[in-house]
Structure 1
Amino acid sequence: MTPDDVLPAALLERIRGRAAGYDRNNTFFHEDLEELAAAGYLKLFVPEPDGGRGLGLEAAADVQRRLATAAPATALAVNMHLVWTGVAYVLAARGDHSLDFVLQEAARGEIFAFGNSEAGNDSVLFDSRTVATPLVGGGYSFTGTKIFTSLSPAWTRLGIFGKDPQAREGDGELVHGFITRGTPGYTILDDWNTLGMRASQSNTTVLEAVEVPGDRIFRKLPVGPNADPLIFAIFACFETLLAAVYTGIGERALNLGVDAVKRRTSFKNGGRSYALDPDIRWKVAEAAMAMDILYPQLSAVTHDVDALADHGSQWFPKLVGLKVNATETARRVVDLAIRVSGGSTYFQGSELERLYRDVLAGLFHPSDDESAHNTVANAWLGPLED
């Protein structure tokens, strides 16, 4: 199955044609989502016997990269659904079927979103500022605030987690579960007015005693880093699919820059093409070489997840390193593309202007630059001594 089978060129161009309008109006990509769902795109990880595409992470990342060349904000938001279905796929491939119901519900058309991020929580998955209070029957009540909840206007299933501070003899326990669109107690704020990635509509979600029944609680973990397969699966899918989106941004920026250079001519050099200017050629070559390094890294890491490769303690450095390399490379390539394309890209409405704003979001996704470098340094040098 080729990327064109999953995301036909005609559909891709329709999505590309709507991206600027969504961005300009700060509106959700309803038409994109409707067409992607009809094409089976939200079922990339759903097994073929259940009506899905049956793809692995490598193939899914490849089509997400392609989608991002047309509409980065659409691709970024769709990522959140694919993260959860991808986590279910990664766990099942390793013999853990605790999230098989996610794939089953995705097969029936449910849309999953990621409600884990919290303002001021730099522990990310290893602690939570949301309070999870046990209920009779095994359920929990969640109270807290989640930020960057992509797919806010459309999700039907939201994955959340919080901390039960009294569990494990007062050490606390992190509780993971899903709510549905009809669950009472949450509020979606209309607060997504950002520099870029506007169509994702990643609004803040406020949880006020939101009850999750016991059969929708799927993990309870100790506070702090741990080796539970869920943590690996979330990192593996979140970081690689993010990397795929930003790889797509870099790819599109390079192509736009090349097209601009071929069109532009120099007045002072008698109408000579900028494609013949040594300084311009250097910048295009620098961007192309940066992208050439990124593509195989993305392919290798996702392939190894699919192949159940055992990288031991090097797995997390590989995942966070890929994410940082992708976001930083894309940012550098967009900058180079703007430099060779001229002042017209500074005006609102040019595609490179939009990509310039979109690519900056890569700075804020976990793992951030500082956390990633700390992870890699610890893997190679050991932790800092007290």
Structure 2
Amino acid sequence: MTFVLDIKANRKQTHIIKDDQEAIAIAHQLASKFTQGASDRDREGKVPLEEVNRYSESGLWGITVPKEYGGSFVSNVTLAEVTKIISEADSSLGQIPQNHLYIVESIRLDGTDQQKKFYFDQVLKGKRFGNAFSEIGTKNVADVQTRVTKTGSKYLLNGRKFYSTGALVADWIPVVASNDDHKTVIVILERGTPGLTIIDDWNSFGQRCTGSGTTIIENVEVSEEQIILQFQAFERPTTQGPVAQIIQAAVDVGIAKAALKDTLHYVRNYARPWIDVEIEHGYEDPLTLYNIGQVVIQVHAAEALLRRSGEYIDLANANPTDRTVAEASIAVAEAKAIAAEASILASNKLFELAGTKSTLRQYNLDRHWRNARTHTLHDPARWKYYAVGNFYLNAENPPRHPWL
């Protein structure tokens, strides 16, 4: 169905976060609230507008706005930490702003001064970017069929998108399109623009509350001021790709932590020992302890690599060269690969160790596996391993694009 949710209702003034410490503190406060009802929201599969409003009003959607435009421009270590904290509470809420943050980075890197002033002011006032990036049925994710064509002093935009995470609750819909020179640009449309249709048809078994459905763009007239020359970010060394990827990795780490937390709770309280060992409680089972240790180590490793990758991005931001940006991309690739595996491992081991009772629908613990399996498909870990191996063995820098 066409989505007509009133996103302006009951929205409050947006707080402006002053520094990294405040960002992390607010993330923890929100997470304690978002954890409540996360399972019920997953069952319903509805877009969590009330929670999204609270999230953006907290100021966390504006923490990457540069200081010269009024933002706090937190470190990428903090950006990843905030995303991880929220994702552990509710991974759908962790994922929804990922493309908003991507667009903020795009504007920072390649927006005109006029665009920066306008859109950063919008962000600090609580306005949200969604996305209309990916298409289905094309050769690959980089094969963009949506077109923006110049007609006199204006441009005409046409296309159809899927996986439009965040568009349903957004004030602005950035659309990835190919221009007349066959280069990739981002066209930012205001919600309600004639010819822009957002459809609530997301039906994945995981990340059910992200509302990542279809966006249709039909003969939408736009001006040059609405176009960000995104291709420029990948023609020179920038942190555009690594920033996109660290957010993805942080969501996966958050899912892994949530699954591990529930594993510990259910094993401690419900698991029974196996008949071949003389113990009283399931939490004393030596093979259970071995497997718990395996999951804990994997999750802690993912957290450590996530933080390390943020440090590399911050270094590249301070000195963007071919080498520093490549190192940042590879560091994030390492984090993303281990985060994907940790989330799948933790959400799968939960049932093996907690026992049959943990599969009962009333607990809805399968949401962790469903969310992990769905979100980790975004960027396949196998290509992360390839990029890391090629970098260290053959000194080959990774390609520049949003998926690495």
- Structure 2 residue runs of 5 or longer lacking an equivalent are 1-20, 398-404
Deviation at 1:288, TM superposition (A): 0.8
Q: Quick check: which one's strand share is greater?
A: 1
Residue 197 of structure 1 and its aligned partner are, at CA, apart by 0.6
The aligned counterpart of 2:355 is: 342
Answer yes or no: is the 8 Å Cα contact 1:316–1:375 preserved in 2.
no
Q: Residue 218 of structure 1 aligns with which residue?
A: 228
For the residues of structure 2 that align with 1:260 and 1:319, how far apart are their CA atoms?
32
Q: Is the 8 A contact 2:266 2:358 kept in 1?
A: no
Task: Give the counterpart letter for 1:347 in structure 2.
Answer: L
Corresponding residue for 2:306?
A: 298
Match of 1:109 among 117, 126, 133: 126
Q: Distance in 2 between matches of 1:120 and 1:318?
A: 31
What is the root-mean-square deviation in Å for CA atoms of aligned residues?
A: 2.8
Relative distance call for 1:6 and 1:53 in structure 2 (3 A) is farther
The answer for the alignment partner of 1:80 in structure 2 is: 99
- Residue aligning to 1:324: 337
Alignment-derived partner of residue 169 in structure 2: 154
- After TM superposition, the structure 1 = structure 2 runs for residues 163-242 of structure 1, keeping only pairs within 5 Å, are 163-164=178-179, 166-167=180-181, 172-219=182-229, 221=231, 226-228=234-236, 232-242=238-248
Report the CA distance shift for 1:8/1:255 in structure 2 as closer, same or farther (over 3 A).
closer
- Deviation, 1:131, is 2.0
Query: Contact 1:3/1:62 (CA < 8 Å) preserved in 2?
Result: no
**Distance 1:99-1:39 versus aligned 2 partners, 3 A rule:** same
Q: Secondary structure at the match of 1:144?
A: strand
Superposed counterparts of 1:31-50, under 5 Å? 31-47=50-66
- The 1-side partners of 2:281 and 2:230 are apart by 62
**Is it true that 1:368 corresponds to 2:365 in the alignment?**
no
Distance 1:130 1:377 in 2: 34
Q: Please tell me whether the aligned partners of residues 186 and 206 of structure 1 are also in contact (alpha carbons under 8 angstroms).
A: yes
Structure 1, unaligned stretches of length 5 or more?
none
Change over 3 Å in CA distance of 1:34–1:306 after alignment to 2: same
1:313 offset after TM fit, Å? 3.9
Task: Report how far residue 29 of structure 1 moved.
Answer: 0.7
Q: Compared with structure 1, are the counterparts of its residues 323 and 141 closer, same or farther at alpha carbon in structure 2 (3 Å cutoff)?
A: farther
State the 1:75 CA deviation: 0.8
CA offsets per residue over residues 292-349 of structure 1, 9 Å max, x none?
2111211111112122264354443333332232112211121112211111232224
Q: Could you tell which deviates more after superposition, 41-50 or 285-294?
A: 41-50
Distance 1:38 1:173, change over 3 A: closer
Q: Which amino acid is the alignment partner of residue 284 of structure 1?
A: I
**Identity among equivalent pairs (%):** 20
Contact kept? 1:87, 1:233, Cα under 8 Å: no
Q: Is the 8 A contact 1:45 1:103 kept in 2?
A: no
Which of the residues 9, 18, 23 maps onto 2:42? 23
Amino acid at match of 2:287: D
**2:91 touches 2:251 (CA, 8 Å); kept in 1?**
yes
Using a 3 Å threshold, how does the CA distance of structure 1 residues 370 and 258 change in structure 2: closer, same or farther?
Answer: closer
How much has 1:286 moved relative to structure 2? Answer: 0.4
C-alpha distance in structure 1 between counterparts of 2:245 and 2:380, whole Å: 11
Q: Deviations over 1:271-305 (max 9, x none)?
A: 71212111100110000111121112111111121
Q: Which residue does the alignment assign to 1:118?
A: 135
The 5 Å alignment of 1:281-296 reads 281-296=289-304
Tell me the distance in 1 between the aligned counterparts of 2:66 and 2:26.
14
The 8 Å contact of residues 96 and 165 in structure 2, kept in 1 or not, is answered as yes
Aligned residues: 367
Q: Check conservation: 2:263, 2:354, Cα contact below 8 A.
A: yes
How far has the Cα of 1:135 moved from its partner? 2.4
Question: Residues 260-271 of structure 1: matches in 2 within 5 Å?
Answer: 260-263=266-269, 264-266=271-273, 268=275
